[in-house]
Amino acid sequence: MASLAFSFFFFFLSLIASSSEAGSVGINYGRVANNLPTPTKVVELLKSQGINRVKLYDTDATVLTALANSGINVTVAMPNELLSAAAADQSFTDTWLQANIIKYYPSTQIEAIAVGNEVFVDPQNTTNYLVPAMKNVHASLVKQNLDNAIKISSPIALSALQSSYPTSSGSFKPELIEPVIKPMLEFLRQTGSYLMVNAYPFFAYAANSDTISLDYALFKENPGVIDSGNGLKYNNLFDAQIDAVNAAMSALQYDDVKVTVSETGWPSLGDNNEIGAGGDNAASYNGNLVRHVLNGSGTPLRPRDPLNVFLFALFNENQKTGPTSERNYGLFYPSEEKVYDIPLTVAQVNKSSLSPPSGTGRSQVPVTGDVSPSNAGVTWCVASGDTSEEKVQHALDYACGEGGADCAPIQPGAMCYNPNTLEAHASYAFNSYYQKKSRGVGTCDFGGAAYVVTQAPRYGKCEFPTGY
């Protein structure tokens, strides 16, 4: 229990420590409508709202021209229909890049290219073209010496996950892993890019409103959900969804690839059977999400990584097909009137903030006062001597396997092999895991086999790192 209180405490401190580095809020500018303002007017609207990142679904000439010299960073998209051509031939991507990027850059500050959108659920099944297309676009960028300035990614839907509950069990669909997920993550790692994820707590809530609480989905005060796999506490469904993706990447040893949420939103109107759709809920979801992102909170698994999100969407889009909700995700009506009022910038959050000051109110977990805050950055995780050997061994195996701890130093001949005891080896592995998880809440527990210490552990000549 003491160790649990300790780790809660340090998680709490890490929230304060990271709250200066805010994430970013952008918006998706979808245009499946026949009644939208001109792109020039839209750019004025974005500027008036303080929005400085926008994502498009194509490379429309009038839109990219209107965005020139606006101070707004732009993510453009190569539509799914072009993936097979882009995969087949680099001269195609060379030409495409010239006509759709180089023509506007750098007056139009293009920061990323989304190659395809939710490709794995594309009815035309363009999955096999995805990574080759990304590689060809990248090769074309390299020729222009723009590969550092412009990142390449591809938004995936959460349906790419096989498992997402509990969050720590997050895993990709097995049939996607070898053909496309691993090659894509490898590409993202090598190019210093990030995984784009479209995440909609609304869908999960609407489909499971009997088991998921609305307050949990809307970032309102709620008891939270404890992840039975690692003890982490989730206060909202959004964090749980993003961490399921993080866990799925960790399981494939891609902990270092970051996530950008390329779409998230909540409809302000829906059909009768679309449980949860509505203006108040949409305002709560989007407003609280923006507060969450801008106050610098990460997710429980990655508390120090600022969240970057693109809200979906700028406008209600009247030509979208499907249920009523599809046409009602906008923050604005085509008239530019607000559908509901939410803060979109730090200044607006500060002004509208009725929420408690940073670091309080996140949860009602007990906070112990027995460690001074100045020690917050300097903690280690060690094996507790009074747990059964079997349990410790099991936890050690987990840490070095699925857990992704760095266990090379405890192999025979390596620096931390001696003393060759289960306790020393387990301590090394548990600490590696704990540090890799940024000392997050519950990450030094291992079913009670581990606890947090504030003095550097001493085992032979072995040095225990405090960060990765």
Which active-site residues does the annotation give? 118, 263
Q: Which residues contact 163 (CB under 8 A, 6 or more apart)?
A: 169, 170, 171, 244
The 3-state DSSP composition of the chain as helix, strand, coil percent (nearest 5) reads 40, 15, 45
In the complex, least distance from residue 293 CB atom to ligand NAG, rounded to whole angstroms: 8
Distance between CA 431 and CA 420 in Å, rounded?
17
Residue 375 binding ligand NAG, by CB under 6 A: no
Residue 437 binding ligand NAG, by CB under 6 A: no
Q: Which residues contact 281 (CB under 8 A, 6 or more apart)?
A: 214, 218, 266
* Candidate segments 59-67, 122-130, 139-147, 326-334, binder of ligand NAG by CB under 6 A: 122-130
In the complex, least distance from residue 310 CB atom to ligand NAG, rounded to whole angstroms: 11
Q: Which positions from 306 to 345 touch ligand NAG by CB under 6 A, shown as an x/- string? A: ----------------------------------------
The C-alpha angle with vertex 18 and arms to 374 and 168, in degrees rounded to 5, equals: 105
Looking at the Cβ atoms of 72 and 339, the one nearer to ligand NAG is: 72
CA–centroid distance for 415 within its chain: 35
Looking at the Cβ atoms of 260 and 316, the one nearer to ligand NAG is: 260
User: Can you tell me which of 84, 163, 222, 288 binds ligand NAG, judged by CB under 6 A?
Assistant: 288
Residue 291 binding ligand NAG, by CB under 6 A: yes
Residue 355 binding ligand NAG, by CB under 6 A: yes
- Kindly write down the DSSP assignment for every residue of 393-418, as one continuous string: HHHHHHHHTTT----GGGSTTSTT--
Looking at the Cβ atoms of 109 and 198, the one nearer to ligand NAG is: 109
In the complex, least distance from residue 271 CB atom to ligand NAG, rounded to whole angstroms: 26
Looking at the Cβ atoms of 328 and 363, the one nearer to ligand NAG is: 363
Distance between CA 149 and CA 132 in Å, rounded?
21
**Is-contact 391 447, C-beta < 8 A?**
yes
Residue 73 binding ligand NAG, by CB under 6 A: yes
Distance between CA 447 and CA 8 in Å, rounded?
15
Distance between CA 376 and CA 373 in Å, rounded?
5
Whether the link from the prior residue into 343 is cis, omega within 30° of 0, is no
Distance between CA 463 and CA 404 in Å, rounded?
19
User: Can you tell me which of 347, 408, 414, 422 binds ligand NAG, judged by CB under 6 A?
Assistant: 347
Residue 350 binding ligand NAG, by CB under 6 A: yes
Distance between CA 293 and CA 162 in Å, rounded?
27
In the complex, least distance from residue 361 CB atom to ligand NAG, rounded to whole angstroms: 5
* Candidate segments 163-171, 319-327, 346-354, 427-435, binder of ligand NAG by CB under 6 A: 346-354
Residue 125 binding ligand NAG, by CB under 6 A: yes
Q: Which residues bind ligand NAG (CB under 6 A)?
A: 15, 19, 24, 52-53, 73, 109, 111, 125, 127-128, 175, 219, 288, 291-292, 295, 297, 346-347, 350, 355, 358-359, 361-362
